[in-house]
A and B are shown apart, each in its own frame.
Chain A
Amino acid sequence: MHNRSLIKRCLWTLLLVLILAAGQQIVLPSIDGLAATQALTKQGGSFLQIFGSVTGGRLTVPALFSLGLSPYMTSMIVWSAVQSWDLPGVSAMSVRAIGMVQRFFTLIIASLQALAMVRTVAPALQPMPLVLGDYSYDMSAWFTGIILVAGAMFTAWLADLNNDKGIGSTVIMIVPGIIINIPGSLQRGWGGVTYALTPQHIAVAAVVAVLFTFCAVWLYKIEVRLPLQRPMLESSYGDSYIPIKLLTAGAMPFMFSTSLFSLPMYVVKGTSLNGTPMGHAIMQWTSYQSWRGLVLYAVVLMLLGYAFGYLNTRPVQTAKSLKYSSDYFYDVAPGDATERFLTHHFFVICTLGNLVEIVIGIVPLLLENVYPGAANFSLFLGNLFIIVTIFDTIMQQFRALRSKYQYQLFA
C-alpha cells in the first residue's frame, strides 16, 4: 500500500522498455535484411555517416526504433551546452518553449541520422514504386527515412513518458539497446580483434564484469564536498556543500569517444585522402593498435572528460548563483575569487577523474599484446560503466520514492 506508487512506476518502465525493445527488433518491410547486413559491413565514410556516428547513432539493419534515443540524448546534450553559455534569450525561455526547441533539435538530428542510415543500406531497399501515369518513383528511401524519424520521435516521447510516470528518468531507455549490443560489441570490438564467445571467454567476461562493476560503483560515488556557508538560512540542520564528483563527466566520454576518435578515419576513407601519405599517417594515429592511436585516444577521452565535466559542474554559473544568494566558502570572497576557487577545484578533480577513465579505456588495449582479445574489453567496460551511471540515478530515485510514504511517528 505504502509503495503503490513505486510499484506502479516500475511497471510503467517495464512496459515502456518492452515496447522499445520490441520496436528495435521489427525490421522495416522496405528492407532486405540480408542485403542490409552486407551493405553495413563495407561502410564508407560519407559526411552523413560520420555525423550519424558522432551524434551517437549506430549503424544497424533499420528497424522501427533503430535510431533509438540517440537523437534525443544528443539534442539534450547540445541544449545543456547552449544553456551553459547563459545567453539572456535562453534563460528567459518558458518550459514549454524549451520543450519545443529540444523537440526541434531532436527532429533535425534524427533526420540526418536517418538519412545516413538510408544511404548506407541503399542497396538493400526493396523497391516501392509510386506510379503516377507514366511516371514512376521509388518511394522506399523516403518511406524508410520517415519511419525511422518517426520512430526516433516516438522513442523520445516514450522517454518523456517514462520520466513522468516511470522510474529512471529518460536515460533508462538507452539501457536495452546497450545490453542487447554488449555480446556483439565484446565479440567484434572495434573490428580487427575478434573475441570468440566461447564458454571460457564468457566466464572471464562475467568475472571481469562483476569486479569492474564493484569498482565502478565505488568510483562513481566518490565526490569532493566543498563545505558552504549559507548566512541566509535559519536552521543549521543538514550539510551544506558544493559536491564535485571524481568522475565529473560521468559516462559521457565513453558514449562519445568512439565516434569522435573514429571521425578522422572516416574522413580519410571517404575522401581523396585515402592512400596518400597524409591519409596513411592519420590512419596510424587513429588506430587502436598503434601506440600513436592509444595516445590520441587518451587525449580524446581527456578532452571529452573536461568538456562534459564542465557542463556538469558549471563553476562560473555556480559562482554567480552563490554570489547572488550570499552563500560563500570560508575565506573566499564572493564573485571572482569564488569562481577561481571553484574552477581550480574542478580542474584538479576532473583531471584525476579523467585519468581514471583513461585507465578504464586504455588498459584493455595495452593488455592486447599479453592477452589476445583483451582490447575488446575497452568497449565492454565502457558500456558497463554507462549502465552503472544510469543505475545510480535509478537507485537515487528508488530511495527517494521508497522513503516518501514511510512516515509514522509511533511505530
Chain B
Amino acid sequence: MASFAWKYKRIVSKIMKRTAALRELSDTQLQAQTQVLRDQLAAGASLRHILVEAYATVCEADRRVLGLQPYRVQVLGAVAMEYENIVEMRTGEGKTLTATMPMYLHGLTGPGNFLITANGYLANRDAAEMGRVYEWLGVSVVSGVAPDGDEQNERDKKAIYAADIVYTTNSGLGFDYLFNNLAATEADQYLQGFHFALLDEVDAILLDDAATPLIVSGVPRVQSNLYGSTDKMVKLLVEDEDYKVSEDKKNVWFTEPGIAHMQSFFGVDDLLGPKWADLYRHLILALRANVLMTAGRNYMVTDGEVKLLDRANGRELPGMKMQAEMHQAVEAKEHVKITQEQRSMASVTYQNLFRMFDQLAGMTGTARTDKEEFQEIYHLSVFQVPTNKPTIREDKPDRLFITNQAKLEATLAEVHAAHDAGRPILIETGSLTLSKLYSTLLLREHLAHNLLNARSSAKEARIVAEAGQPGAITVATSMAGRGTDIRLGEGVAEKGGLLVLGTERMDNPRVDNQLRGRAGRQGDPGESRFYTSLEDTIVQEQAPQRIARYRFKYADRPKQELSRHGRFSKVIDHAQRKLQASQRSARFETLQYGEVFRIQRDAVYAERDKIMAATDLGEIIAQVFSHSATNFVAAHPKQTTADVLSYVFRYIDGDFDTDPLAYQRMRGNAAPVLQELMQERLEHQHKQFKAEDQWAYFLRLALLKAIDTSWIEQVDNLQSLRTITANRSLAQHNPIYEYQTEAQRSFAQMKLALYDKCVEYLLQSSFSWQKNGEIQVNFP
C-alpha cells in the first residue's frame, strides 16, 4: 500500500511534533491527557480523530516511564496498524514498544482490547514491562495468562476481562471464549465484547494455525475393546502385500490379499460386509496408527500417555487429541493405557475467533508473501515498515545435496569453521526429532551447545537471548523462541555476526524468512544459509516421483552436492509452492464451511445469553411445551394409546397415573391435553421448591443443559456433514450448497430433539435437598 505511505507519514510528522510539545508538560499534566481523551471520545470523537494526540501522549509516556522513545519508523508502524494494516517489521525493530500506541488508543474506550502474543511467557513479560506505561497513564492492563507455575483455572477471569487492555495468547482467549459460552448464569460470564485485537506474529495465528479448531471436550463416548486385537493383527501385515502406502506417505489402504489374510485370521467370511463393519473400522484405525503416525514426529509417548506434537515446532500440544478414535488406536499401538474417547462440547477456529472482532491489526516480521489471503479473509492490507537501520545480513544461496547424510555432514563442516572463528551459530531444524538428532551429532563432534526442546517458553527465551554470545551454538526448531531478540555478544559483530543455519527448508518461504531474520537485527552483521537435500520432508511429501527415483539411484554417488543451477535447483521452491497452495485452499474451505457453523453457533449462543438474562422464562417454557406436543402429534398421525403413553412416560411423568378420561379428551386433539399435562407436572415440580430464586435457577439450568446437550450432537453432525457432502459434486451438486441445506435440515432436527429434551429436563428431574438448604438437581 505504497499509495497510503505519504498519508501515514504526514500523520507521523504531526505526532512527532506533538510529542516534542508534550515534553513541556509535567507528569501530572501528561497523565491528565487520558481523561481529556476519554472525554473527547465520550463527546463522540472517533478514534482516528484523537489518534495524533493519543499516540503523542504514549510516545512521551514511553520515554518518561521506560526511557525508550519510539523511533519514527515505529510510530509509522503504529499509525498503519490503526488503518487496517498488518505491519511488517523486522525482528528487533521494537514491535513491543510500537504496540503501546494502538493499545493505549483503544484502551481509552474501555474493556475488550487485546494484544495477542505468541506465547504465555511473552504475554506476562510484556504486560509487566509495557504495563507500566499504561498504568502510569491511568489505563488498566493485565496479563490474561497465569504466571509460570500457576494453574490457568485459578485466574480471576472477571478481573482480567474487566481491564481495558489484556495481554494474552490466542489459545488462552479462544478457550476463555468457549467457556464463557458454557456458563450457567450471567454471573459466570466474564467476556466484555471483542473490540480490538492486535496480533503479534499474526501470520502464525491467522495462517499457520488458522484452521486449527480449539476444542473443549467433555462427554465420553461409548468405548470399544477392539483396539488391542486389531493392532496385533495389523502388526503382522506386510507392506506392499497386505497393504499399500501412497508416495507421499499420507495415505494407506488394504489390498485384496490383505483383506483375505485378515478374514482368515479373524475367522470371518465377510469383513467388508455390514456385519463386521466395526471390526473393519478398527483395522483401518490400527493400520493408520501403525503406518502413518510416527512417534517423535506426530506424537510422543511420555509417562504412559500419547501426546500430540505440533508439526511446526515439535512442541507438545497439551490437551489435544486426535479425532475419530485415532488417538485410542495410537495408544493401542504404543501399548499404553487406552483413554476414553471424548466428544467435543464446543469448538472454534482461530479464523472465526478473530473474525468476531470489530477491528483487527497485526504485526510480524514476514507477511507480504501472503498479502492476498490477509486481504480476502480479514480485509487487512500489508504495510511494510522500513528498518530503522539498513539490514546488512548476508543471505547465502541454498546448498542442495542428494542424501540427508551428505547434507548433515556439510552443515557440520560449516559449524566447525564458524565455531573455530568464534561466531555464534543458530541451527534451525524442521522438527523436534531432527533437533535431537542434530544435537547427538554435535555431541559426537564434541561441540558444546544448547538444545531448545520447546518445553518451557520462559527457559527458551533465556537460551535464545544467550544465542548471540561468542562461540555459542544453539539448536532449535523453527518456531522456538519467537519474539525474543538475539543480541550480539562482545566482539561478535567484528567476526561477522550471528550465523543462522537452516538444516532444511520449512513449509513455506515465510517461515524461512523468519528464520533468516533471527540474524542481522537492527543493522547488525549476520549471515544465513539453508542446507537442503532430496530427502527432506518437504521434498518427499510434495515433489514428483522422478525426484524419488533420482534420489534412490544416486544415493551412493561420491559427489553428493547438486549444482545450484542444475535441474533440481527449483525442487524445493516448487514443493513449497505446492504445499502452500494446498494449505491455502484448505483454509479457504474451512472458512466457507465454517460460515454455517459460525452462524449456527452464534444463534445458539445468542439464545443461551437470552435465557440467562431473562427474568421470566414462562413464555419460553410455554413455547417449548407447545412445540414438543405438536411435534409429537405431527410425527404420529395415527397415534395409538401406546404411542401417547410412551411419550408421556418418557418426557412428562414417569409415574403417570393412567387416566382413562385423558385418552378420551385426546382423541383427535392430543396436543392441548399434553400441554395441560405438562403444565400440571411443572406445577408439581414447582411445589417442591421453597424459594422462588432456586426455582428460577432450576428452570434456567434445565433449559441451558438441554441446549448444550443438543448442541454437542449438532457439532458432531456438522463435522460429518462436511465430509459427507464432499462427494455430491459428482452429480453436479455444489458441495457447499448441499452442506448448507443439510446443515439446515440437521439444525431443524436438533430443534425438535431440543424441545423434547427441555420438556424432559424440566419435568423429569428429581431433587435432593442438602442440609444447608442447597438443592441438588438430578437430571434424567
The reply to whether B585 and A408 form a contact with Cβ atoms under 8 Å apart is no
Contacts of B716 in A (CB 8 A): 234-235, 237
Closest to A312 in B: B732
Task: Flag whether B607 is at the interface (Cβ < 8 A).
Answer: yes
The CA-CA distance from A242 to B744 in the complex, in Å, is 21
The reply to whether A399 and B603 form a contact with Cβ atoms under 8 Å apart is no
Contacts of A393 in B (CB 8 A): 732, 734
The CA-CA distance from A93 to B743 in the complex, in Å, is 31
Interface 0/1 of B719-753, CB less than 8 Å to A: 11101100110111110111111111011000100
Interface 0/1 of B311-325, CB less than 8 Å to A: 000000000000111
Expressed in whole angstroms, the minimum distance between the Cβ of B645 and any Cβ of chain A is: 27
The CA-CA distance from A325 to B719 in the complex, in Å, is 15
With A318-B727, A409-B754, A410-B607 in contact, is A403–B740 under 8 Å at CB? yes
Contacts of A392 in B (CB 8 A): 732
The reply to whether A238 and B737 form a contact with Cβ atoms under 8 Å apart is no
Task: Flag whether A204 is at the interface (Cβ < 8 A).
Answer: no
Task: Flag whether B544 is at the interface (Cβ < 8 A).
Answer: yes
Task: Flag whether A369 is at the interface (Cβ < 8 A).
Answer: no
Task: Flag whether A138 is at the interface (Cβ < 8 A).
Answer: no
Surface stretch bound by A, among B178-186, B280-288, B443-451: B280-288
Surface stretch bound by B, among A206-214, A243-251, A296-304: A243-251
Q: Which one, A235, A243, A323, contacts B719 given CB within 8 A?
A: A235
Expressed in whole angstroms, the minimum distance between the Cβ of B229 and any Cβ of chain A is: 16
The CA-CA distance from A94 to B573 in the complex, in Å, is 13
The reply to whether A396 and B737 form a contact with Cβ atoms under 8 Å apart is yes
With A406-B744, A409-B604, A410-B624 in contact, is A243–B733 under 8 Å at CB? yes
With A95-B584, A242-B727, A245-B731 in contact, is A324–B599 under 8 Å at CB? no
Contacts of B751 in A (CB 8 A): 409
The reply to whether B731 and A238 form a contact with Cβ atoms under 8 Å apart is no
The total of chain B residues at the interface (CB under 8 A) is 74
Closest to B343 in A: A234
Q: Which one, B624, B713, B746, contacts A238 given CB within 8 A?
A: B746
Q: Which one, B250, B253, B623, contacts A334 given CB within 8 A?
A: B253
The reply to whether B720 and A233 form a contact with Cβ atoms under 8 Å apart is yes
Task: Flag whether B254 is at the interface (Cβ < 8 A).
Answer: yes
Q: Which one, A223, A228, A326, contacts B288 given CB within 8 A?
A: A326
Expressed in whole angstroms, the minimum distance between the Cβ of B571 and any Cβ of chain A is: 12
With A234-B324, A235-B719, A326-B288 in contact, is A241–B727 under 8 Å at CB? yes
The CA-CA distance from A394 to B273 in the complex, in Å, is 39
Closest to B580 in A: A94
Q: Which one, B221, B272, B323, B754, contacts A333 given CB within 8 A?
A: B272
Contacts of A93 in B (CB 8 A): 581
The CA-CA distance from A324 to B723 in the complex, in Å, is 13
Task: Flag whether A49 is at the interface (Cβ < 8 A).
Answer: no
The CA-CA distance from A238 to B725 in the complex, in Å, is 9
Task: Flag whether B277 is at the interface (Cβ < 8 A).
Answer: yes
The CA-CA distance from A232 to B723 in the complex, in Å, is 10
Contacts of A401 in B (CB 8 A): 740
The CA-CA distance from A313 to B323 in the complex, in Å, is 30
The reply to whether B754 and A400 form a contact with Cβ atoms under 8 Å apart is no
Q: How many A-B contacts if CB must be within 8 Å?
A: 166
Closest to B326 in A: A232
Task: Flag whether B399 is at the interface (Cβ < 8 A).
Answer: no
The CA-CA distance from A397 to B585 in the complex, in Å, is 21
Closest to B581 in A: A94
The reply to whether B737 and A397 form a contact with Cβ atoms under 8 Å apart is yes
Task: Flag whether A330 is at the interface (Cβ < 8 A).
Answer: yes
The CA-CA distance from A392 to B737 in the complex, in Å, is 12
Task: Flag whether B441 is at the interface (Cβ < 8 A).
Answer: no
Expressed in whole angstroms, the minimum distance between the Cβ of B332 and any Cβ of chain A is: 16
Interface 0/1 of B545-558, CB less than 8 Å to A: 10000000000000
Contacts of B713 in A (CB 8 A): 235
Closest to B717 in A: A237
Task: Flag whether B596 is at the interface (Cβ < 8 A).
Answer: yes
The reply to whether B747 and A397 form a contact with Cβ atoms under 8 Å apart is no
User: Which of the four size classes fits the interface of chain A?
Assistant: 35 or more
Docked complex: A268-295 residues within 8 A CB-CB of B: none
Contacts of B270 in A (CB 8 A): 331
The reply to whether A234 and B719 form a contact with Cβ atoms under 8 Å apart is yes
Closest to B706 in A: A409
The reply to whether A399 and B717 form a contact with Cβ atoms under 8 Å apart is no
Contacts of A101 in B (CB 8 A): none
The reply to whether A403 and B744 form a contact with Cβ atoms under 8 Å apart is yes
Contacts of A334 in B (CB 8 A): 253-254
The reply to whether B272 and A332 form a contact with Cβ atoms under 8 Å apart is yes
Task: Flag whether A240 is at the interface (Cβ < 8 A).
Answer: yes
Contacts of B221 in A (CB 8 A): 234
Interface 0/1 of B252-294, CB less than 8 Å to A: 0111100100000000001011100100110011001000000
The reply to whether B253 and A323 form a contact with Cβ atoms under 8 Å apart is yes
Task: Flag whether B339 is at the interface (Cβ < 8 A).
Answer: no
The reply to whether A235 and B734 form a contact with Cβ atoms under 8 Å apart is no
Contacts of A399 in B (CB 8 A): 737, 741
Task: Flag whether A404 is at the interface (Cβ < 8 A).
Answer: yes
Task: Flag whether B574 is at the interface (Cβ < 8 A).
Answer: yes
Q: Which one, B244, B323, B544, B577, contacts A94 given CB within 8 A?
A: B577
Contacts of B277 in A (CB 8 A): 229, 231, 330
Task: Flag whether B251 is at the interface (Cβ < 8 A).
Answer: yes
Q: Which one, A237, A325, A331, contacts B272 given CB within 8 A?
A: A331
Expressed in whole angstroms, the minimum distance between the Cβ of B173 and any Cβ of chain A is: 25
Expressed in whole angstroms, the minimum distance between the Cβ of A1 and any Cβ of chain B is: 14
Q: Which one, B545, B603, B730, contacts A313 given CB within 8 A?
A: B730
Expressed in whole angstroms, the minimum distance between the Cβ of B572 and any Cβ of chain A is: 14
Contacts of A231 in B (CB 8 A): 277, 280-281, 284-285
Task: Flag whether B634 is at the interface (Cβ < 8 A).
Answer: no
The reply to whether B740 and A404 form a contact with Cβ atoms under 8 Å apart is yes
Q: Which one, B253, B323, B542, B732, contacts A245 given CB within 8 A?
A: B732
Task: Flag whether A134 is at the interface (Cβ < 8 A).
Answer: no
Contacts of B731 in A (CB 8 A): 223, 243-245, 312
Q: Which one, A335, A336, A408, contacts B607 given CB within 8 A?
A: A408
Please name 10 further chain A to chain B contacts, defined as beta carbons within 8 Å, in addition to the given A250-B732, A404-B599, sorted by A numbering. Answer: A231-B277, A232-B285, A235-B717, A237-B717, A237-B720, A237-B746, A238-B721, A333-B272, A407-B603, A407-B747
Can you name 21 A-B residue pairings with CB atoms under 8 Å?
A92-B574, A94-B584, A95-B585, A231-B281, A235-B716, A237-B717, A238-B717, A238-B742, A318-B727, A330-B272, A332-B272, A333-B254, A333-B255, A333-B256, A335-B244, A396-B733, A399-B737, A403-B740, A403-B741, A409-B603, A409-B607
6 tightest A-B contacts by CB? A403-B744, A231-B281, A243-B731, A400-B737, A400-B740, A94-B581
